[in-house]
């Protein structure tokens, strides 16, 4: 039985913008970002804490979201991020985006049930609220933020749970990058299954 999609859903949108993807496998690609409000993960080092309260952001219809995307780019990559985007049912939104001719990528902690149809799933697990087990075998990219030395062990634990084709990235927490990046470099040299992800958008000063 085919689910009836509710295209009347409105989503709390903190911000939306066309920029360069700065992290992970798709780093350097032009991408339209839709940052949804709402997050219950609570990372102490989060750089978008204003996104946590979903009620603080205007609700946008799927039609409005698609219109905004089309006004800035006629093809390519759309990234749904947050906050924690999986606090919302994303099935109708992603179908509408794909029907309009775009690829759909998600950046998620995996702490909520996966909804939506995706061309690429980037999982960034957090100790503050661990991912649901069901998402682990199907992610395309595992991106672990390294805040202190114990996070390497955390990263290795999740590397054993994802599929063998999943890309593995270690990313320094931005405020500690000067101290953490050299540790990641040495770790990757010893463990070349991992790659380094840098937030290049912060270095080149784009959103």
Taking only the tens place, the pLDDT of each residue in 148-205 is 999 999 999 999 999 999 999 999 999 999 999 999 999 999 999 999 999 999 999 9
Q: Determine, yes or no, domain membership for 97.
A: yes
Phi, psi of 58 (to 5 degrees): -65, 145
Closest CA to 30 of 59, 62, 72, 68: 72
DSSP β-bridge partners for residue 80: 34, 106
Q: Is residue 4 part of a domain?
A: no
φ, ψ for residue 146, nearest 5 deg = -100, 115
State pTM to two decimals.
0.95
Query: SS3 sequence, 78-147?
Result: EEEECCCHHHCCCHHHHHHHHHCCEEEEEEECCCCCCCCCCCEEEECCECCECCCHHHHHHCCEEEEEEC
Looking at the domain assignment, is residue 142 inside a domain? yes
Q: Domain range holding 85?
A: 10-203
Each residue of 86-102: pLDDT tens digit? 999 999 999 999 999 99
Is residue 79 a part of any domain in this protein?
A: yes
Specify whether the CB–CB gap between 36 and 62 falls below 8 A: no
Question: Does a structural domain hold residue 156?
Answer: yes
> Does residue 90 form part of some domain?
yes
Do residues 23 and 124 lie in contact, with contact meaning Cβ atoms separated by under 8 Å?
A: no
Q: What is the CATH number of the domain that holds 44?
A: 3.20.20.70
- Please compute the mean of the pLDDT values over residues 3-20 and round it to a whole number: 91
Cβ atoms of 122 and 141 closer than 8 Å? yes
Q: What is the mean pLDDT of residues 5-30?
A: 95
Q: How far apart, in whole angstroms, are the C-alpha atoms of residue 160 and residue 189?
A: 19
- CA-to-CA separations, 19 to 34, 49, 52, 77, in angstroms, rounded: 11, 21, 22, 10
In contact, 65 and 11? CB cutoff 8 Å? yes
Q: CB-based contacts of 57: which residues, under 8 Å, 6+ apart? A: 12, 13, 14, 37, 51
Measured distance CA(163)–CA(47) in Å, rounded: 29
Q: Is residue 5 part of a domain?
A: no
pLDDT at 3: 58
1, part of any domain? no
Neighbours of 23 (CB within 10 A): 21
Predicted confidence (pLDDT) per residue in 40-75, tens digit: 999 888 989 999 999 999 999 999 999 999 999 988
Number of domains making up the chain = 1
The string of pLDDT tens digits covering residues 126-158 is: 998 999 999 999 999 999 999 999 999 999 999
């Amino acid at each position: 039985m085919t689910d009836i999609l509710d295209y009347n859903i409105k989503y709390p949108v903190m911000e939306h913008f066309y920029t360069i993807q700065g992290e992970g496998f798709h780093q350097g690609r032009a991408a339209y970002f839709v940052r949804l409000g709402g997050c219950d993960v609570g990372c102490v080092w989060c750089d978008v804490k204003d996104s946590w309260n979903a009620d603080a952001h205007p609700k946008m219809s799927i039609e409005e979201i698609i219109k905004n995307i089309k006004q800035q780019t006629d093809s390519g990559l759309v990234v749904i991020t947050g906050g924690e985007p999986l606090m919302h049912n994303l099935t109708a939104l992603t179908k509408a985006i794909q029907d309009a001719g775009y690829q759909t990528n998600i950046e998620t902690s995996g702490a909520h049930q996966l909804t939506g149809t995706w061309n690429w799933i980037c999982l960034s697990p957090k100790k503050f609220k661990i991912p649901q087990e069901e998402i682990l075998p199907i992610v395309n990219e595992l991106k672990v933020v390294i805040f202190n030395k114990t996070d390497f062990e955390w990263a290795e634990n999740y590397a054993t749970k994802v599929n063998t084709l999943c890309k593995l990235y270690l990313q320094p927490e931005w405020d500690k990058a000067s101290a953490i990046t050299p540790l990641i470099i040495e770790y990757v040299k010893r463990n070349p299954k991992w790659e380094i992800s840098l937030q290049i958008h912060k270095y080149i000063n784009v959103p």
